[in-house]
C-alpha cells in the first residue's frame, strides 16, 4: 500500500499543473524583485515545453528563463532568492510521516477498508433503489 501511494505521489509530480502550483506558491512569498526568474526544470518536462512556456509568458510579470536539466529537482532562483523542490524527497517525507503516525497499521487499514465498504454499499443501494421498483432490498448492515 505504501509503495502504491508513493507511486501515485511521484506520478502526480510529473503533471505540469503541479509544477505550476509549486512555482506560484514560491512566487507569492517573494517580495517585489527586479531581474529575471530562472527555472531549472527536469528534462521529463521537455515534451511539455510549450505548455510550460506559455503559462509563464501569459501569467508572469517577470522575465522567465527556462532551462531543462537531467536532475529530478525543480530549481527556481533570482539574483536574490533560490528555492528547490524535490518530488522524491517530498514523497519520502510523506512516507515517513505516515509510518510514524501509524497510518498503515493493520488496525488503521482495516478501519479505512470498513469505512470504504460501508460507503460503497450505501452508494450501491442508492443507485439500485432508483432502478428497482417494489423490490425488497437487504440493509447495508446485512452485507
Average pLDDT, the chain: 77
Residues 16 and 64 in one domain: yes
Residues 14 and 39 in one domain: yes
Residues 40 and 74 in one domain: yes
Q: Which of 92-96, 101-105, 120-124, 131-135 has the lowest mean pLDDT?
A: 131-135
Residues 31 and 79 in one domain: yes
Residues 89 and 116 in one domain: no
Q: What mean pLDDT do residues 51-77 have?
A: 80
Residues 65 and 122 in one domain: no
Three-class DSSP category at 22: helix
Residues 84 and 115 in one domain: no
Which segments of the chain are extended strands (E)? 37-42, 64-69, 74-77, 82-85
Whose grid coordinates read 460507503? 119
Greatest extent of the chain over all pairs of C-alpha atoms, in Å: 73
81 is in which domain, residue-wise? Answer: 2-98
**Of 58 and 105, more confident:** 105
- Does the pLDDT of residue 70 top 90, yes or no? yes
* The predicted structure's pLDDT at residue 99: 82
User: What pTM value is reported for the model?
Assistant: 0.61
Residues 83 and 110 in one domain: no
Residues 11 and 72 in one domain: yes
Share of the chain above pLDDT 90, in %: 4
Amino acid at each position: 500500500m505504501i509503495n502504491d501511494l508513493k507511486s501515485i505521489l511521484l506520478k502526480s509530480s510529473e503533471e505540469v499543473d503541479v509544477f505550476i502550483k509549486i512555482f506560484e506558491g514560491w512566487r507569492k512569498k517573494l517580495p517585489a524583485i527586479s531581474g529575471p526568474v530562472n527555472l531549472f526544470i527536469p528534462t521529463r518536462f521537455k515534451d511539455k515545453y510549450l505548455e510550460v512556456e506559455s503559462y509563464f509568458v501569459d501569467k508572469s510579470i517577470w522575465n522567465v528563463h527556462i532551462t531543462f536539466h537531467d536532475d529530478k529537482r525543480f530549481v527556481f532562483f533570482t539574483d536574490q532568492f533560490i528555492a528547490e523542490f524535490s518530488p522524491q524527497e517530498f514523497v519520502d517525507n510523506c512516507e515517513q510521516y505516515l509510518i510514524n503516525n501509524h497510518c498503515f497499521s493493520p488496525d488503521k487499514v482495516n478501519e479505512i477498508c470498513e469505512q470504504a465498504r460501508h460507503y460503497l454499499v450505501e452508494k450501491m443501494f442508492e443507485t439500485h433503489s432508483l432502478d428497482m421498483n417494489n423490490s425488497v432490498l437487504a440493509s447495508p448492515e446485512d452485507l
